[in-house]
Structure 1
């Protein structure tokens, strides 16, 4: 049994919900707004953890705990012993140090740790090099440049969490450059329509397939509002076949270009996809395929907006979107789609979220039910988790006019 820190993203409630698509609530031993301690039965290699992290959108880093409840005077010795034990056979011990939540004077503390570690390792006959610039933590590009995800070097984290000091070794770090590459290098982009971030697409897919390290009966990811194909692209990188459609031929043709590009770029010859131009309300999938598929989609969020709508415009937009979804979800129920993950428009007013009115009632009448991301007992234990007033996840930024409500829906 091993314990890992999952270093959470900005929207920690969404990050936590995604982690729970791989693990059970009881596997999370402690949780706060920055870190989750997860107990995992299997002992993974660095390579396996990096592969896992590459398909998780809401976690920045995963590090493996090797010492906890440490006193500050013992930190240097514990790290030195760990480096010698695990990297002493290398021609040179290459390492970096991160300090998290240790204040004040973390700069002075970092300087002392680096100097003392180097001196003590050299005294015992080991050649070594640390990668920190001054007293700063290791930056992500250095992690990949120095191949700290391999056995050639390592990144050690000194973490204060829940009034205890932990030592952990980074096992995987989110590769920001890869996200940027597939977001900005793809052949078709249309910023005027609003684009789903690749990280959010990953999160939604994970919420949909509820993987627990394997796909449970999910044959296809289906996106009936596919736009330029972000969900389809991320599904392909997870090893999933996909079916996409969009009412706009410009968007569906763009999605085909993007899927062909990502298959070639990442050598995904075994992945199949099908994209066509179709109104989501007339979704066309054979019933056998539908019953083993999960819909993951950025639904229609309304027209592009430069300013927040007034109440009249908001009500008009609400009714239009609700009618669209009434027909769409009716079609999904008719086909036997078992699970749907969808984003709905959300507006912020006076620090409150204005959600799509009437949606939950409509979905229930059609025969679906809304899944809560957390159990009541989990929410009682971690009361800082942020959900909407109807217990859904919200993805937004302070400067956004239209945010996203993430809703997971399943057959009763």
Structure 2
């Protein structure tokens, strides 16, 4: 095998990594780039599909928290070999852990290029078992109905333990990349913070913790020119529509020190306070950290006078998405809801522009209504231009081909789309910066 580099611990200066993307690939790509920029890392995309991104990552500080900071990535593999042919059982065997005990292993296989054929994961796995049996080694092959093992399967079958391994094969038209999974998303932790928190408001809409963390990462990432900008944890993060406190809870776990949550609904402030107290009781690191939390029951329009102009570095928020829908809206209904919310969003952007320090960033979620005749979005760009905020392209780096709306990137609007099939209102993620 032609080694990309020697196998090593995965927190290193230079890595060739396979990022398995979440259900909105464009959002995952944007988050990876933003986190790399914040760390001062250089990322060079080799190839990507809606399932996986293969990239070289080099340099940067704080490698130990790199993987765990990503919420839009399901799992990560370090690719240590490239071969100019189809992989064999011996190729896979060479990547298994050197233990004399029983080995647990699985194989995930994916095509990295159009026209490439994924390696037959199960067939290859059974061939590896035969090789191990000939060596007198005991093993257990972990399989699933899909060619790619899920993070749940990898974790529950101990494939990241000292005697476990998930071998990842990314096939190209002329060969394959091979490597081992080194990290899986802590899905149980996200589920606990979502479903286990004491205060939830289903009618007001609930921002998933994973999405909240992705929004924060976008806010802390590179500036509009694509260069890294140091938005330090010491800067203030504001959520002016804090609801149940999801953005604030994720920000506190990410090490941001100054958190401000506001909402004109007093019950929302109470829910946020209770949820943050609950989270603190479960998280020793959070109790020991020196972050400060300020909660205010105020209207967003009054915030510049209360907090002061130019005092906030980062704003991350999801205002009202309108009334919950049980069916797809008709075009006239969607336009009516858009008009009803326009004043709130316009005034919120105006307040954000006043609150932000120069170079500060706002990441805001906007509703897009699905109708039988097409999507009905809000006119965010015109309102932002009137305040002096500039649009940030979330995919302003070298990625080819460029994602489209199927992958969650609305190129004409330079925005990201987050949606589920059963939802009638999509989330459009817009990023703006203050010059």
For 1:63, the equivalent position in structure 2 comes to 77
For 2:394, the equivalent position in structure 1 comes to 373
* Matches of 1:66 and 1:264, distance apart in 2: 41
For 1:332, the equivalent position in structure 2 comes to 352
Asked if the contact 1:394/1:406 (under 8 Å) is kept, the reply is yes
C-alpha displacement at 1:139, in angstroms?
4.5
After TM superposition, the structure 1 = structure 2 runs for residues 151-230 of structure 1, keeping only pairs within 5 Å, are 151-161=162-172, 164-210=175-221, 216-218=231-233, 219-230=235-246
Q: Could you list the per-position Cα deviations for residues 49-74 of structure 1 after superposition, in whole angstroms to 9, with x for gaps in the alignment?
A: xx5333322211111112223423x4
Q: Does 1:96 align with 2:106?
A: yes
* Matches of 1:147 and 1:52, distance apart in 2: 22
SS of equivalent to 1:259: helix
Q: Does 1:39 align with 2:67?
A: no
Q: Does 1:354 align with 2:371?
A: no
SS of equivalent to 1:91: coil
Asked if the contact 1:111/1:135 (under 8 Å) is kept, the reply is no
Q: Could you list the per-position Cα deviations for residues 107-144 of structure 1 after superposition, in whole angstroms to 9, with x for gaps in the alignment?
A: 9x444423332332343354433333699754433422
* Matches of 1:331 and 1:128, distance apart in 2: 61
Q: Which has the higher helix share?
A: 1
C-alpha displacement at 1:217, in angstroms?
3.2
Root-mean-square deviation (CA), in Å?
A: 3.2
| Aligned residue among 269, 272, 285 for 1:255 | 272
Asked if the contact 1:363/1:369 (under 8 Å) is kept, the reply is yes
- Higher mean alpha-carbon deviation, 359-368 vs 128-137, is at 128-137
- Higher mean alpha-carbon deviation, 277-286 vs 182-191, is at 277-286
After TM superposition, the structure 1 = structure 2 runs for residues 237-276 of structure 1, keeping only pairs within 5 Å, are 237-241=253-257, 242-267=259-284, 268-269=286-287, 270=289, 271-276=291-296
Structure 1 residues 403 and 126: alpha-carbon distance in aligned structure 2, compared to 1, 3 A threshold: same
Q: Does 1:78 align with 2:88?
A: no
Gaps of 5+ in 1: none
Q: Does 1:405 align with 2:416?
A: no
* Matches of 1:140 and 1:61, distance apart in 2: 6
* Matches of 2:98 and 2:60, distance apart in 1: 21
* Matches of 2:394 and 2:54, distance apart in 1: 18
Q: Could you list the per-position Cα deviations for residues 293-348 of structure 1 after superposition, in whole angstroms to 9, with x for gaps in the alignment?
A: 31100122122233444444434432332222332222222233421000011012
Asked if the contact 2:329/2:370 (under 8 Å) is kept, the reply is no
Asked if the contact 2:238/2:260 (under 8 Å) is kept, the reply is yes
C-alpha displacement at 1:243, in angstroms?
1.2
Task: Please give the TM-score of this superposition, normalised by the length of structure 1.
Answer: 0.86
| Aligned residue among 385, 402, 405 for 2:404 | 385
| Aligned residue among 232, 250, 268 for 1:234 | 250
SS of equivalent to 1:257: helix
Gaps of 5+ in 2: 1-13
For 1:19, the equivalent position in structure 2 comes to 32
- Higher mean alpha-carbon deviation, 221-230 vs 388-397, is at 388-397
Asked if the contact 1:370/1:410 (under 8 Å) is kept, the reply is yes
Structure 1 residues 111 and 408: alpha-carbon distance in aligned structure 2, compared to 1, 3 A threshold: closer
Asked if the contact 1:187/1:258 (under 8 Å) is kept, the reply is yes
After TM superposition, the structure 1 = structure 2 runs for residues 93-172 of structure 1, keeping only pairs within 5 Å, are 93-101=103-111, 109-132=120-143, 138-161=149-172, 164-172=175-183
| Aligned residue among 43, 68, 83 for 1:54 | 68
* Matches of 1:43 and 1:82, distance apart in 2: 27
* Matches of 1:346 and 1:146, distance apart in 2: 40
